[in-house]
Chains A and B, each alone.
Chain A
Amino acid sequence: MTDSSPETSSGAALVAEPAAEPNAIGRGCRFESGRGLDVGTANLASAIQDVDGNVTIKIQRNAFIDIETDDYTRSMLTRLNVQYVVINGRMVVVGDPAFELANIFNRETRRPMKDGVISPNEQDAMPIEKMLLENLLGTPNFPGERVYYSVPAQPIDADFNVIYHQGVFGGLLKKLGFDPKPLVEGHAVVFAELAEDDFTGIGISCGGGMFNICVSYKSIPALSFSTTRGGDWIDRNVATVLGIKASRATAIKERGVDLRNPKNREEEAVQIYYRNLISYTLEEIKARFESSSGMPAFPEPVEIVCAGGTSMIGGFTEIFREEFEAIRFPIAVKTIRRVDDPLYSVSKGCLVAALSDV
């Protein structure tokens, strides 16, 4: 902590948000020192808390699409509140509008991240990610302000490590003047959602690229791992069977499907792959639990909490419970629930970690 960050009575550092940028959060407000950042395959989200305990979330879809460059388009995009970047002479539209444009033009969005980590196929990703992070976090309130950012746990169904991804985002955040600390996604869900149970239970972040699982005992992660199927896997498969683009499949999935009552062929395809994804994930979790010698023996049944954008579809919890009932889960579970703010849970968990670590 520096001299520019006075402390509150609770020991947390206080800072005043600089109000020079259009994206500054609550101009003139006083904020606690420390931020949370969810680095997701589908979305990037930041969380910050003011002195009154209000939490502000800023969120961006982690996608882009390149379009023809000209002065008129530039001007129009700014007027329409659409973010763009010009890289190597190509104009790239960023965030939600990229997704909308992809659907209108029947194209695929380009994704800076794939399967939960930085995509090696997207050479333009780095400068865009840097700008998106800068836009979400702004400048630090003092040099070296702590930011906890989410990283995936080591996958159990794929042979790649996440160290490089962790380093890339750590480096970007350092460049922005923050003191970055990685936090595995599942653990962030535990921090945000399992306070009532003394941070004991199973947190699952159901993301676009991965499902991240953390078994925690009194806030200490006993076991963390990930599986490399998520919302994008559903989109790809639905797109394949329906003969459409994955972006279109995403739009179908996000327009309010209820998995318990699919209304047409497209929704049935979504339901089939959702059920398959949940079943696959539960089987993988079960296999991992059964093969792990470091599993804690919980004295009482624990809660499973699901967060993340992929858990937001109607009927997710019910299908999850049905598939859960179909297997012999090795841990006694008392309840399975979806959190209230699935999209913000990881960033809030990172914020809790940051605020407790000043």
Chain B
Amino acid sequence: MGECLDIQGAIEKSTSEVSLKDLTRKGFKHVKVLNHAAITRLISEAVDRVISSREREISASERQRVIDESRREFDSLARSRIEEQSRVGQLSAENETLRAEMEGLRRRVDAAAEVQAERDRVLASEKALLLAVEDYRARCAEKEQSHAALEARDRERQHAADARTESLNLEIAVLRERVSEADRSFAKSEGQLDAKNEEIARLSRAAEEGFARFAAEVEARLSTIGSGSGVDEALRGSLEGIRANIADIAKGRVAIRKAESFDAEAMIKFAERRTDETEVESNISKVQVKQTQAAGVKASLARLKELQKRSSE
């Protein structure tokens, strides 16, 4: 036989592979299966029938040759088949080995993935820790700044308080000095006042003694004046008038009063007089003063007048 018929190749080329799932989906619930051996057998039978039909037309030698060739072909195919099976077995073994290796690799990959995930977790944790450290550092710096500012402020406050205390102490010292001075002035004034009071009392006593002497003298004169003559009557009238005047003066003596403690009206009048009349040179009237328009007061004024009106009613 010149050419070997590649039945398996022909079948491969002429058929297509359809999965059971697709067939089920297409509505095929049962299929007839023709295996490779049956096909080969059918073809061999067909060939045999053709050969048998043509057996009469070929010679015995040729027939033997065809049989030999067929046998050789068969042997070849059988060997090929055996080799193929051997190869399939070998491939299956290799496949198993590979599958086992792959399984091993997959486990290693899984383990590596777990390690990677763990590493990522550690990295994330480290990053968070770094951020937290940075944050703590920033807050620490901020606190340090605040602390420094507070310390500076405290120092300033302390400084201010010290300065104020010093100033107050100074003021107190000045005031104490003024009080002492006032006390001294007061004592001096009191001394002067006592002297004046004594002087007034002395003068008053002298005046009273004078009045008494004068009154006694008038009384003595009156007792010496007779009655009846017109001159005596006129003199008596005059002396009696003098006596009455002395009595009036004595009654009208002004008691020494204490000065008023404070008279606001008098103070205002005193202050109003203190308007300096000094003539001065100035350009004030020639210079424009800052001038501005402000919001009106009409509403306030109207409200006040209304309130005043209501109150008076």
Give the contacting residue for B281; candidates A85, A174, A192, A241; CB below 8 A. A85
Contact partner, B268, options A84, A95, A167, A272, Cβ 8 Å: A167
Q: Is the CB of A86 within 8 A of B280?
A: yes
Q: Provide the B288-305 mask, 1 if CB < 8 A to any CB of A, else 0.
A: 111111111111110111
B298 touches A53 (CB 8 A): yes
> Inter-chain contact count A-B, CB under 8 Å?
182
Contact A23 B285 (CB under 8 A): yes
- Whether the pair B283, A171 counts as a contact (CB closer than 8 A) is no
Chain A residues with Cβ below 8 Å from B297 are 47, 49, 53, 55, 192, 348, 351-352, 355
Q: How far is the CA of A135 from the CA of B291 in the complex (A)?
A: 12
Given contact pairs A170-B268, A272-B156, A195 touches B295 in the complex (Cβ within 8 A)? no
Say whether B284 contacts A131, CB under 8 Å.
yes
> Looking at B163, B284, B290, B307, which has the most chain A CB atoms within 10 Å of its CB?
B284
19 contacts across the A-B interface (CB closer than 8 A): A22-B285, A25-B291, A55-B296, A57-B294, A58-B291, A59-B291, A126-B274, A127-B280, A163-B267, A164-B270, A166-B268, A168-B272, A168-B275, A174-B275, A195-B300, A273-B160, A348-B300, A352-B300, A355-B301
- Given A83-B284, A132-B284, A265-B152, decide whether A164 and B294 contact each other with a Cβ distance below 8 A: no
The reply to whether the CB of A269 lies closer than 8 angstroms to some CB of chain B is: yes
- Whether the Cβ atoms of A172 and B288 lie closer than 8 Å is no
Q: Kindly name the residue among A82, A83, A131 whose own CB sees the greatest number of chain B CB atoms within 10 A.
A: A83
A85/B282 contact (C-beta < 8 A), A166-B268, A195-B299 known: yes
Tell me which of A74, A87, A135 contacts B289 (CB under 8 A): A135
| B269 engages A167 (CB within 8 Å) | yes
* Cβ–Cβ contact A130 & B275, under 8 A: yes
Interface size on A, residues (CB 8 A): 71
A140 and B86 alpha carbons, distance in the complex (Å):
136
Say whether A81 contacts B307, CB under 8 Å: no
Determine whether A218 belongs to the interface, using a CB cutoff of 8 Å to chain B: yes
A100 smallest CB distance to B (angstroms)? 13
A85 / chain B contacts, CB cutoff of 8 Å:
280-282, 284
Cα distance A273–B304 when bound, in Å? 37
- Which residues of B approach A to under 8 Å, CB–CB? 152-153, 156-157, 159-160, 163-164, 167, 262, 264, 267-276, 278, 280-301, 303-305, 307-308, 311
CA distance A163 to B164 in the complex (A): 30
Q: Which residue of A lies closest to B308 (CB)?
A: A356
Are the C-beta atoms of B304 and A78 separated by less than 8 Å?
A: no
Report yes or no: A94 in contact with B307, Cβ–Cβ below 8 A.
no
User: Which residues of A sit under 8 angstroms from B288, Cβ to Cβ?
Assistant: 22-23, 81
Inter-subunit contact A171/B157 (CB<8 Å): no
7 residue pairs, one from A and one from B, having the closest CB atoms: A167-B271, A171-B272, A126-B276, A167-B268, A195-B300, A86-B281, A195-B303
Expressed in whole angstroms, the minimum distance between the Cβ of A11 and any Cβ of chain B is 9
- CB neighbours (8 Å) of A274 from chain B are none
Starting from the known contacts A23-B288, A356-B305, 19 additional A-B residue pairs (CB-CB under 8 Å) come to A23-B291, A60-B289, A60-B290, A83-B282, A84-B282, A86-B282, A94-B284, A131-B280, A134-B285, A167-B272, A175-B275, A195-B304, A219-B307, A240-B160, A240-B163, A265-B152, A272-B157, A344-B292, A344-B294
Q: Is the CB of B284 within 8 A of A191?
A: no
Q: A23-B288, A58-B291 are in contact. Are A130 and B307 (CB under 8 A)?
A: no
A268→B152 CA distance, assembly (Å): 10
Q: Are A241 and B163 in contact (CB under 8 A)?
A: yes
Q: Which residues of A contact B (CB under 8 A)?
A: 21-23, 25, 47, 49, 53-60, 74, 77-78, 81-87, 94-96, 126-127, 130-132, 134-136, 161, 163-168, 170-172, 174-175, 191-192, 195-196, 198-199, 218-219, 237, 240-241, 265, 268-269, 272-273, 340-341, 344, 348, 351-352, 355-356
Q: Contact between B275 and A22 (Cβ–Cβ < 8 Å)?
A: no
A352 in contact with B296 (CB, 8 Å): no
Measured CA separation A21–B289 after assembly (Å) = 11
Most buried by A among B262, B275, B295: B275
Chain A residue numbers with a CB within 8 Å of B262 are 161
Please tell me which one of the listed residues A78, A96, A175 contacts residue B290 in the complex, with CB atoms under 8 A apart.
A96
Contact of A127 among B153, B276, B299 (CB under 8 A): B276
Cβ-defined partner of A163 (8 Å) among B271, B274, B278, B290: B271
**Closest CB-CB distance, B311 to chain A, in whole Å?**
7
A237 touches B160 (CB 8 A): yes
Cα distance, A23 to B297, chains bound together (Å): 22
Could you tell me if B294 and A341 are in contact, using CB atoms closer than 8 angstroms?
A: yes
Instruction: Name the A residues within 8 Å of B291 (CB-CB).
Output: 23, 25, 56-59
